[in-house]
Amino acid sequence: MYEEKDLSRRKFLKSGILAAGALAVGSSIFNTTKVVEAVETTPTPAPCDSNCEIPSFPYPYAHLDAEKAKLDGYAGYGKSKCSYGAFEAIIGQLGDKVGYPYTMVPTQVLGWGGTGGGGWATLCGALIGAATAINYTMEKKDADKVVSELFGWYCDHSFPEFAPAAGKALEYDGVMEKSVAGSPLCHVSVSNWCDASGLKAESKARSERCARVTADVAAKTVELLNQFHSKTFKAVYKNESVEDCMMCHGKGHSLENTRGLMDCDQCHTNVEPDNLVEHIKRSWDIKD
Amino acid sequence: MYEEKDLSRRKFLKSGILAAGALAVGSSIFNTTKVVEAVETTPTPAPCDSNCEIPSFPYPYAHLDAEKAKLDGYAGYGKSKCSYGAFEAIIGQLGDKVGYPYTMVPTQVLGWGGTGGGGWATLCGALIGAATAINYTMEKKDADKVVSELFGWYCDHSFPEFAPAAGKALEYDGVMEKSVAGSPLCHVSVSNWCDASGLKAESKARSERCARVTADVAAKTVELLNQFHSKTFKAVYKNESVEDCMMCHGKGHSLENTRGLMDCDQCHTNVEPDNLVEHIKRSWDIKD
């Protein structure tokens, strides 16, 4: 990836030679004004306009530092919430280590993911930002696997684990309760944390919690990206409860009337594991 | 935005002048090999490396064609599913009309959103792609409003409305049942369509349905973007059922233990509108 920078230096040298050449012959074969204008504009950074080569996709990867991603994710939350925070933590560090083309990515475009998408509390914004960053470094077929593993970790992991240095908290410096989100959805993740902490959903404490979750998600994403790009990534997430349901409702099975990996009995409360047999008997009208 | 292209043409003219100048004086003041190399490399599109100016954010907007967005969204689904399809439909058309910097956006990075995020069926991928495209053209505070309106439309609208020309369907050319998603979540949207159509969640018909939903989402996004950028956008979405719940559970109210705009009683089936009074009485231990 550093070849890009070397190439750019070579290009600048060439421009210098060309400008000097143009200046040298300016009075003889060119209109002087034009040549002076050309010489003056040569050293100015040029906008990357439609003459530019489109960077090839996926973008190159460099091994990232998970500890730095935590700090950057936390700071990014302070600037523009969770989705931007997680995205900027990854893309910003890739910009530092790889340079172009990451330096051209406007990380503000993931701002919309805060509060789970325009205030709707759907997919956790930190996951939206992290998943988009993942996909910059690999094709969709691979990103699907890494993103799925990240979502699975998010559901089962007790967080926030990250804690800022003493006196450096963004919004709340009290005891920070951990909770298990049980879902990749902001609505469930925040509600479960409110239950665990007894604190309010729009409090400074909840905002602090989400800033720390952003740090944890950014660090986990770096861990998975480093694994993938060093060929040591292995998908380990399983949800046996969902697999049980999908034995009838999933792909290739008798009903095949839904899809996904979110915990079924979180919403389908009449189908808890302990009454699954009853559910099947009801569904198939099986008498005792 | 067309100034970008004019500027690029002017820059190309200058390069031509410089190259010609270098060539003209090559034999006198330069090593001929260097000059020939310079002349040969001049017309080659240069990579936009770290010497380039970072485009300012948000990117410029041009009035878009909703009918073209439908066709592009549908075709994009065929290439890389819903999230890429909706994103490419907007960013691709902006690339045609505005040019740079949209021409530098690798639209494949939204591939991960297909199937609601790595196969999890969380936020509908077409909404993930559309929301990211929206945010390219405006700041987060504005994107939040437009994205929320798009999600609201998605929940209430009966789709797919788009139908390809006869014989041009991607995967399924039969009768296409419409349904109301009732949620921005892929899991609910697909399940409701399976109920309405009696067809399977992983069938070619469902994939065709999602391709057409992608077309509808891309077109609605263009409608909202055109309204926003012509200062005629007005948020109209309301969910009174959610507002009722948030009178206790929402920001600034007695419980404030959750957040979001997704329909509450879709999952909280013990709190249907017709037993809300009972729910409140139970919650507050109010006797008859």
Give the residue from A101, A90, A98 showing the smallest Cα distance to A147.
A90
User: What DSSP string runs through A65-125?
Assistant: -HHHHHHHHHHHHHHHHHHHHHHHHHHHHHHHHT-TTGGG--GGGGGGGGGGTTTS--B-H
Domain ranges for chain B = 66-229, 240-283
Q: Which of B52, B81, B100 sits opposite A50 (nearest CB)?
A: B100
Average pLDDT over residues A208-221: 98
Residue whose structure tokens are 């939204």: B110
pLDDT level of residue B92 (50, 70, 90 thresholds)? very high
Cα-Cα-Cα-Cα dihedral sign, residues A87, A89, A92, A98: negative
Give the mean model confidence (pLDDT) for residues A216-227. Answer: 98
Q: With cut-offs at 50, 70 and 90, classify the pLDDT of residue A48.
A: low
In the structure, what pLDDT confidence band is assigned to residue A60 with cuts at 50, 70 and 90? very high
Cis upstream peptide for A101 (omega within 30°): yes
Confidence at residue B23, expressed as pLDDT on a 0 to 100 scale: 34
Residue A283: per-residue pLDDT? 73
Interval A107-122 mean pLDDT: 97
Q: Which of chain A's residues have a Cβ under 8 Å away from the Cβ of B144?
A: 111-112, 114-115, 118-119
DSSP state of A183: S
> pLDDT per residue over A142-152, tens digit each?
999 999 999 99
**Residue environment code for A212-231, b if the CB has 16+ CB neighbours within 10 A, otherwise e:** bbbbbbbbbbbbbbbebbee
**What is the pLDDT at residue A18?**
35
- Place A141 in a pLDDT band, splitting at 50, 70 and 90: very high
Mutate to test the interface with B, among A77, A96, A112, A185 (most CBs of B within 10 A): A112
pLDDT at res. A45: 54
Output Rg (C-alpha) for chain B, integer angstroms: 26
Contacting A residues, span 247-266, partner chain B, CB-CB under 8 Å? 250-252, 256-262, 266
Helices (H), A139-275: 140-156, 186-197, 204-229, 240-249
Three-class HEC string of B155-191: HHCEECCCCCCCCCCCCCCCCCCCEECCCCEHHHHHH
pLDDT over 50 (residue B24): no
Whether A85 and A129 have beta carbons less than 8 Å apart is answered as yes
Token readout for B197 is 């159509």
As a whole-number percent, the residues of chain A with pLDDT over 70 amount to 81
Interface test with B, best of A18, A41, A138, A243 (most B CBs within 10 A): A18
Query: How large is the average pLDDT for residues B193-200?
Result: 97
* pTM of this structure: 0.84
| pLDDT number for residue A272 | 65
State the maximum Cα–Cα separation within chain B, in Å, rounded to a whole number: 105
Of B30, B37, B187, the CB nearest to A21: B30
CB contacts of A140 in chain B (<8 Å) are: 80-81, 84, 108, 111-112, 114
Mean pLDDT value of segment B31-36: 34
Cα dihedral A158, A161, A166, A172 sign: negative
Least confident of A140-144, A270-274, B90-94, B231-235: A270-274
Q: Supply the pLDDT for residue B282.
A: 74
Instruction: Yes or no: say if A19 and A39 are a contact pair by the CB < 8 Å rule.
Output: yes
Is the CB of A140 less than 8 angstroms away from the CB of B111? Answer: yes
Please write the tens of the pLDDT for every residue from B118-139. Answer: 999 999 999 999 999 999 999 9
Question: What pLDDT shows up at residue A280?
Answer: 79
Q: Is the pLDDT of residue B13 over 50?
A: no
Eight-class DSSP state of A170 = S
Cα–Cα distance between A145 and A133 in angstroms, integer?
14
- Place A170 in a pLDDT band, splitting at 50, 70 and 90: very high
**Distance set, CA B88 to CA A59, A102, A135 (Å):** 18, 19, 15
Mean predicted confidence (pLDDT) in A250-277: 86
Q: How many CA atoms lie within 13 A of A76 on its CB side?
A: 33
Which of B24, B51, B80 faces A45 most closely, judged by CB atoms? B51
pLDDT digits (tens, 9 = 90+) for A233-257: 999 999 998 998 999 999 999 899 9
pLDDT at residue A223 greater than cutoff 80: yes
Q: Does B87 touch chain A (CB under 8 A)?
A: no
Which residues 6+ apart lie within 8 Å of A91 measured at CB? A102, A105, A107, A133, A136
d(CA B1, CA B8): 12
Mean pLDDT of chain A: 84
Whether the pLDDT of residue B32 is over 80: the answer is no
Closest alpha carbon within chain B to A1: B49
A145 at B interface, C-beta within 8 A: yes
- Contacts of residue B8, defined as CB under 8 A and 6 or more positions apart, other chains included, come to A49, A50, A51, B100
**In the predicted structure, residue A273 carries a pLDDT above the cut 80:** no
Q: Residue B44's pLDDT is what? A: 53
The pLDDT of residue A142 is 98
What are residue B25's phi and psi, to 5 degrees? -100, 0
Token pair belonging to B269: 């089936």
pLDDT attached to residue B47: 59
How many angstroms separate the CA atoms of B5 and A278, rounded?
67
Checking if the pLDDT of A37 tops 90, the result is no
The pLDDT of A244-272, averaged and rounded, is 90
Residue B26 touches chain A, beta carbons under 8 Å: yes
Q: Which of A228-232, B184-188, B231-235, B251-255 has the lowest mean pLDDT?
A: B251-255
Amino acid letter, A203: S
| Closest C-alpha to B130, from B71, B210, B227, B216 | B216
| pLDDT surpasses 80 at B36 | no
Mean pLDDT over A262-269 rounds to: 90
Q: What are A36's two structure tokens? A: 């002076």
What is the pLDDT, as a whole number, of residue A24? Answer: 35
Angle A191-B267-A200 (CA atoms, 0-180°, nearest 5)?
15
Note whether A48 contacts B52, CB cutoff 8 Å. yes
Phi, psi of B185 (to 5 degrees): -85, 135
Mean pLDDT on A90-112: 96
Query: What backbone phi and psi angles, to 5 degrees, belong to B256?
Result: 40, 55
Cα A235 versus chain centre, distance: 18
